[in-house]
Amino acid sequence: MKKYALPLLIPPLAMLLSCSAKNDDKVLARVGGEKITEAQLQEKLGDISPSYREFLDTPAGRRQFLEVLINERLILLAAKKSGVASSDGYRGQVREMEKDLKDKLAQFKDYLLTKLWVEALKEKELMTTDEELTAYFAESPNEIVIDHLMYPTYEEAEAVLKRVKSGADFSRLARDRAGEKGLMTGSGRMPPMMKGEFIPELEDMAFKMKVGEVQGIVKTKFGHHLIKKISQTRKARAPETEDRVRRILEKKKFDAHMEKLQAELEVEVLDEDYK
């Protein structure tokens, strides 16, 4: 067989030999009792870098590529006849791959099932009507900005509140707290929020406060909170705001649905450190 110098990056065996021959394919070569077909060659050509395709489109390039396929098939057949397939190394790696693929398939099935369930939920239970949008804008048209301080203990929050009452700058304390290295403080200036976008225990209080007012201490599952209201503006009903409100209402319905599921399935946190 004539040889050609082809600067070809040969794909792995598994990719070159993954396709079985179709009965109606044009047979280009036989290796032992196995066929290499035109369809297999064309599919494998698709795996090759475009920089080599100009050469592979020539008669010489196609012959060279067929030789690559023949050599790969010879190697595989020889390997099958050898004792490698019964070796501990081969069997061990195959078992590891089978377990990995099994785990990945299980993860994918869970992901797909969850994704399709949520999509179906959005089309039914979570669907927001125009009437619900109108009611939201009538009841909660405002957007607020707050500075937020959060501490793990009541005593820490109380000490800071006393400093604020004595004249300390709340906003500066929030900026400094947000910048503390190595801590996930949850403090600082919060992004502009509409009703339904903040911690529920703080939300009613925040929207009722006057601009410039400081309130706290409020305990939640996250910690002990102090807030200062920076601004309040009325949001006009526009397409982008409607999309935002739809997400707020969708989340509210989703949270309610999850609470219902927890009650039905009797969820219980057993470790005291996680309650």
Instruction: CATH number of the domain at 184, please.
Output: 3.10.50.40
Distance CA 33, CA 10 (A): 23
Which residue segment(s) compose the domain that 185 sits in? 143-234
- 185 and 167 co-located in one domain: yes
CA proximity to 234, closest of 120, 165, 137: 137
Distance CA 233, CA 194 (A): 10
For residue 182, the model assigns a pLDDT of 59
Distance CA 36, CA 208 (A): 76
- 132 and 255 co-located in one domain: yes
Give the predicted TM-score (pTM) of the model.
Answer: 0.63
- 165 and 56 co-located in one domain: no
For residue 187, the model assigns a pLDDT of 87
CA 107 to each of CA 95, 111, 175, 199: distance values in angstroms, whole numbers, following the listed order: 18, 6, 41, 32
Q: Are 229 and 216 in contact (CB under 8 A)?
A: no
CA 97 to each of CA 15, 75, 81, 84, 119: distance values in angstroms, whole numbers, following the listed order: 16, 21, 22, 17, 32
For residue 183, the model assigns a pLDDT of 63
Rounded to the nearest 5°, which phi and psi values hold at 128?
A: -105, 130
- 42 and 155 co-located in one domain: no
Q: Total domain count for the chain?
A: 3
- 202 and 219 co-located in one domain: yes
pLDDT digits 0-9 by tens, 190-211: 999 999 999 888 998 999 999 9
Residues of the chain under the 70 pLDDT cut: 1-24, 181-184
